[in-house]
Amino acid sequence: MDRTADPRPQPPHIHAGTDVGRLMRCVLYALIPGAALQVYLFGPGVAANLLLAAATAVAAEALMLGLRRRSLAALADASALLTGTLLALALPPAAPAWLVVTGSLFAIVLVKQLYGGLGYNVFNPAMAAYAMLLIAFPLEMTRWPPSLLEAGVPWARLGLDGVTAATPLDGLRTGLLAGRSLAEPAWRDTLAGHFGGRAVEWINLGYLAGGLWLLSARAITWHIPAGMLAALALAAAVAGLADPLHQPGALFHLFSGAAMLGAFFIATDPVTAATTPLGRVLFGAGCGLLVFIIRAYGGYPDAVAFAVLLMNLAAPTLDRITRPRTYGHRRRRR
């Protein structure tokens, strides 16, 4: 029998029944509930960003593969499509087209392909591009409702309360810097966090539902999401108890900004996150703690991108210090 003609895995190798393409497609499917809510609540600008960012990312990936003389079959893994999608979901709905294209090109060309492609990049491409855009083009990155309504954009649906992913956290940051109290009516109405009243809470619920589906499908493990959300909730709860007049507490932080999107879809990137079980828990906990610190005391309203990028740098060290001991061998001193 010609064993080379048999496409099935040969013993002793047993295939796990999954591959990179299947994993990336599962993540894309799980993004649908949260992305659909963003489109409904914030209008067609979100859909336009998704189409433009995804098309640019895939085109840039094809171009770089051609320049590197690599097979275009690598496009089938859908990693470029996922990068463009995650970046688009993080951008304001009224972001100009050139901003979306610039971010997608930066993510694929500079952060991913110039490092060697999928599996070799040090940083999460989508979050590196988002951080670059936020630093380089801060004005364009703040085009969120209700500023859209003030500018006369009719499709900005703010029927819940007119607060987006950025606005509550920006209010928290500026209020803390000004020494304002949560007891003040104007700030309390925005930040008190009565659950279900803000658009961003419903969007986070959509991403939570998608994340739980990823866990049930075993596309990701529980370690990073649990570590990140637990650390964020604990830090916010402690701060809320210590200073209830200035800190809104755990529930506000868990369902504001990109908390659920970051915990289930961004921090869990298998290339740039830690790989050992304990390392993943510590990686997620570091992300959650950094998110709270930057939100409450830093210069940016949301912090998922910066937290993930900083922990990307720590991932190799976490893997090294949490490497399981080989059976029959003593753990090496470091």
Q: What is the pLDDT of residue 218?
A: 92
Write down the pLDDT at residue 110. 95
In this prediction, residue 43 carries a pLDDT of: 84
CA distance 38 to 27: 17
Six-digit token string for 197 = 């009243």
CB 263 within 8 A of CB 228: yes
- DSSP class per residue in 47-116: HHHHHHHHHHHHHHHHHHHHHTT--GGGGGG-HHHHHHHHHHHHS-TT--HHHHHHHHHIIIIIIIGGGT
Residue 109 exposed, middle or buried by CB count within 10 Å (0-12, 13-18, 19+): middle
1: exposed, middle or buried (Cβ count in 10 Å: 0-12, 13-18, 19+): exposed
- Cβ atoms 33, 209 nearer than 8 A: yes
pLDDT digits (tens), the chain, 334 positions? 444 455 555 555 554 556 788 899 999 999 999 999 999 888 889 999 999 999 999 999 999 999 999 888 888 889 999 999 999 999 988 899 999 999 999 999 999 999 888 889 999 999 999 999 999 998 888 766 554 444 444 444 443 333 334 455 655 555 554 455 454 444 444 444 434 445 678 889 999 999 999 999 999 999 999 999 999 999 999 998 888 777 787 888 898 888 999 999 999 999 999 999 999 999 999 999 999 999 888 877 678 999 999 999 999 999 999 987 666 556 555 5
Residue with tokens 């100009």: 96
Bond from prior residue into 316 cis (ω within 30 degrees of 0): no
Report pLDDT for 253.
87
| Cα–Cα dist 176/157, whole Å | 28
For 30, 218, 235, 286, the CA distances from 309, given in Å and listed in that order, are 23, 25, 20, 11
What integer pLDDT is reported at residue 223 of this predicted model? 96
pLDDT for residue 127: 95
Give the chain's end-to-end CA distance (angstroms, integer).
51
